[in-house]
């Protein structure tokens, strides 16, 4: 769900306030880039996709009219646009599963860490978390990051991962966490809990 401030910004944009549109862009572009970077290693492709997402919103403001969770809406729009671009580039039809082939989340992309801990500790923690995440499949990594980094609900995760229901997404996250040893799991959960409290 969106907070009142975000609802107010969207309402201003829907009523023709283009400064509100610029504000929406500025507030979400970095997080979109971080998420998209995990889906594609091509920065230019990613920048184009983000621009396409916001251009579509600017061209058709009513797409935001019934949005309940703006972050989820933007993530889904970006992922779909990246899949479309990849399909176009490969000149062949493929399912959305192709996007999971490289989900490569790096903890360095989470900007709140810069203010959470000192640089040396951040780098060490980043290395440990990356090792933990690399034990998971790309699909599990994406599900875990969507849940604990981007604070998505299980039904939103299910939709982003083309799963049948929220129970499937919950099971995927649970199985992913089971792959981690108990002591590392505690570190992992503590880190993401800390991030989400910022």
> Taking the domains of the chain in order of start, what are their residue ranges?
4-98, 107-197
- Residue 99: enclosing H or E segment and its boundaries? none
- pTM metric for this prediction: 0.69
Q: For 71-130, how does the pLDDT look when each residue is reduced to its tens digit (9 = 90+)? A: 999 999 999 898 888 877 765 444 444 444 455 554 444 444 444 445 566 666 667 767
> Could you confirm whether domain 4-98 is CATH 1.10.1740?
yes
For helices 138-148 and 166-178, give the axis angle rounded to 10 degrees. 100
Report the candidate in 35, 136, 52 with the shortest Cα–Cα distance to residue 88. 52
pLDDT value at 151 more than 80:
yes
User: First vs last Cα of the chain: how many Å apart?
Assistant: 18
Q: Which long-range contacts (CB under 8 A, 24 or more apart) does 124-132 make?
A: 125/191, 128/184, 128/187, 129/188, 129/191, 130/106, 132/180, 132/184, 132/187, 132/188
Mean pLDDT value of segment 126-155: 82
Q: Return the structure tokens found at 4.
A: 């009142």
CATH assignment, 107-197: 1.10.10
Do 4-98 and 107-197 fold alike per CATH?
no
**H/E segment holding residue 190:** helix 182-197
Give the Cα-Cα-Cα angle 79, 160, 103 (nearest 5 degrees). Answer: 60
Give the pLDDT confidence of 61-82 residue by residue, as tens digits.
Answer: 999 988 989 999 999 999 989 8
Q: Tell me the residue length of the chain.
A: 198
Q: Are 144 and 170 in contact (CB under 8 A)?
A: no
């Amino acid at each position: 769900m969106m907070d009142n401030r975000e609802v107010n910004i969207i309402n201003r944009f829907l009523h023709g306030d283009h400064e509100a549109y610029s504000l929406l862009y500025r507030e979400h572009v970095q997080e979109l880039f971080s998420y998209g970077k995990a889906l594609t290693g091509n920065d230019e492709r990613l920048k184009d996709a983000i621009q396409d997402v916001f251009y579509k919103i600017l061209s058709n403001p009513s797409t935001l009219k019934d949005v309940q969770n703006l972050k989820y809406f933007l993530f889904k729009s970006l992922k779909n646009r990246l899949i479309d671009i990849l399909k176009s580039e490969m000149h062949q039809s493929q399912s959305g599963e192709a996007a999971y082939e490289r989900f490569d989340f790096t903890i360095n992309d989470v900007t709140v860490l810069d203010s959470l801990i000192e640089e040396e500790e951040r780098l060490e923690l980043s290395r440990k978390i990356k090792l933990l995440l690399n034990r998971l499949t790309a699909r599990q990594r994406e599900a875990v990051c969507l849940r604990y980094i981007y604070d998505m609900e299980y039904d939103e995760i299910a939709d982003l991962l083309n799963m049948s229901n929220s129970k499937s997404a919950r099971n995927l996250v649970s199985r992913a966490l089971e792959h981690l040893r108990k002591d590392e799991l505690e570190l992992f959960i503590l880190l993401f809990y800390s991030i989400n409290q910022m």
